[in-house]
Amino acid sequence: MTAYEPVIGLEIHVQLSTRTKMFCGCKLSFNDPPNIHTCPTCLGLPGALPVVNSRAIHFGIMIGLALGCDIAERSLFHRKNYFYPDLPKGYQISQYDVPLCRGGRLGDVRIHRVHLEEDAAKLNHLGASGRIHGSDRSWVDFNRGGTPLVEIVTEPDLRSPEQAREWPALLRTTLRQLGVSDVNMEEGSLRVDANVSVRPVGSTELGTKTELKNMNSFRFLERGVRAEISRQIALLEQGKPVMQETLHYDPATDTLTALRSKEEAHDYRYFPEPDLVPILATEEMLAAARADMPAELPAERAARYEGELGLNADTARLFAFRTELGDYFERALAAAGSDGEQRQVDPVELSNWIPQLIERIGSDSDPAGSNVAPESLATLATMVKAKEVSRDAAREVLTRLVEEGGDPRAIVEREGLGALTAEDDGLGELVDRAIAADPAAAEQVRSGNMKAIGPLVGYVMRETKGRADGGEITRLIRERLAG
């Protein structure tokens, strides 16, 4: 049976949080009464002229820089023509063959292009069951019409449903940190379309793709992509072709239904927008965009955690994508000891305790709001590293810290959780007893089979109720069985 590899490319629409619309002075709004933020321009009335929003260009350049794109010195607006009730002009002003930004990369996904355009109006479809104004017609709310958008198009570089969930989360954190958008999927300020194909593993050609429209949460995006990959593989295994079409994913039933196929695809008859001049991205505009960028973006933060602090890639990403975790981690890293001296906390050891912490306070919670002060977590990590407390005992200390806060040293003292040592606590004697209790295992270790050491270590762990350090026990056993 052929093994298949998924190939996924994303097209992401982001509403920019400017004060006014893309080509007129109407205010941006969300959830206001319908059709109160309109004017001749965004209603497409004859004779009204667009004027480009310079703040939207500024945000577009910031996004391009954050994604490592080339910013075009000169880019163009085009008219994308189609008829639909949400588009009063009969065309959308967008960018076509000369976009604002090209190339670039975020994490392990290359960016194809980033361009500016305007959003369409919002259609409220209410069926017979959900009537408004006593009818079952559709209603158009032009408040949204003309909202500034950037469209970010990736190369087909994603390879799994999980990545189709994780990568947009990195993008969202990045955009949020730039302050250019609310990036809220439920409210529609971040909208993701996924292009999906599969191909035999090892093949370098792209398979026929389908497009999943407008997934409204990262979870559904992952599930929709997974369902579509399975559907395509099943087709190919039956010897049937994948049709190029646009699909809608229904999370309730985990099924995909066709919206439109490529044969009915629009010919948009793009042509240059005659009412707007080209965007000239000057050195001053680039400098202004750079000046508004945060000092460190999430992808850079992840790279620093991995490269400079030695964190594993998953933890580095977790802390970088969830800024509250990264911030907490850094506060703990910087924490001074109770004696006022700068304490050296091992970053890797510390990093392992933050997932442990959020596991206890709720995986979506911000540890800054918990009972555990960053200093306390740093102290705990340091005690583990120094083998003053065993890993098992430290987990118990953490549970106490989450419940009642306070100082880990005090808890260790009060609960008698300090690590047992060979000299003070008779750990050596226990090791002797373990060896005596299992001569067969001891003999194996003596003859060099280190896997046999497990039961001996386990014996001491049990006897000490986890308070002895595993590494220390192992060291003592090997010492006794050496030679």
Q: Which of 109, 113, 118, 112 is nearest to 100 (CA)?
A: 113
At its nearest, how many Å lie between Zn ion and the CB of residue 95? 20
At its nearest, how many Å lie between Zn ion and the CB of residue 14? 20
At its nearest, how many Å lie between ligand ADP and the CB of residue 168? 12
Region near ligand ADP per CB under 6 A, out of 1-9, 42-50, 56-64, 457-465 = 1-9
- List binders of ligand ADP among 441-460 (CB under 6 A): none
Task: From the list Zn ion, ligand ADP, none, pick the one residue 24 interacts with, judged by a Cβ distance below 5 to 8 Å according to partner type.
Answer: Zn ion
How many CB atoms are closer than 10 A to CB 407? 15
Task: From the list ligand ADP, Zn ion, none, pick the one residue 42 interacts with, judged by a Cβ distance below 5 to 8 Å according to partner type.
Answer: Zn ion
At its nearest, how many Å lie between ligand ADP and the CB of residue 262? 8
| Interface pick for ligand ADP out of 5, 13, 52, 155 (rule CB under 6 A) | 155
- Chain centroid to Cα 202, Å, comes to 28
The full length of the chain comes to 483
At its nearest, how many Å lie between ligand ADP and the CB of residue 205? 9
- List binders of ligand ADP among 2-31 (CB under 6 A): 7-11
Region near Zn ion per CB under 5 A, out of 38-46, 241-249, 343-351, 402-410 = 38-46
Geometric angle at alpha carbon 326, from 320 and 330, rounded to 5°? 135
42 binds Zn ion (CB under 5 A): yes
Q: Residue 147: helix, strand or coil by DSSP?
A: coil
Q: What one-letter code names the amino acid at 96?
A: Y
At its nearest, how many Å lie between ligand ADP and the CB of residue 155? 5
- Buried b or exposed e, range 205-224, using 16+ CB within 10 angstroms: eebbbbbbbbbbebebbbbb
309 within 8 A of 348, measured Cβ to Cβ: yes
| Interface pick for ligand ADP out of 147, 189, 197, 232 (rule CB under 6 A) | 197
Count the site residues for ligand ADP by CB under 6 A. 15
At its nearest, how many Å lie between Zn ion and the CB of residue 27? 9
Tokens matching residue 244: 């190029």
CA atoms in the 13 A half-sphere facing the CB of 470: 10
Environment class of 276 (CB within 10 Å of its CB; exposed 0-12, middle 13-18, buried 19+): middle
189 within 8 A of 182, measured Cβ to Cβ: yes
101 binds ligand ADP (CB under 6 A): no
39 binds Zn ion (CB under 5 A): yes
Tokens matching residue 448: 């060099």
Distance CA 17, CA 56 (A): 8
Region near ligand ADP per CB under 6 A, out of 45-53, 94-102, 148-156, 438-446 = 148-156
* Interface ranges with Zn ion (CB under 5 A): 24, 26, 39, 41-42
* Interface ranges with ligand ADP (CB under 6 A): 7-11, 153-156, 195-197, 206-207, 209
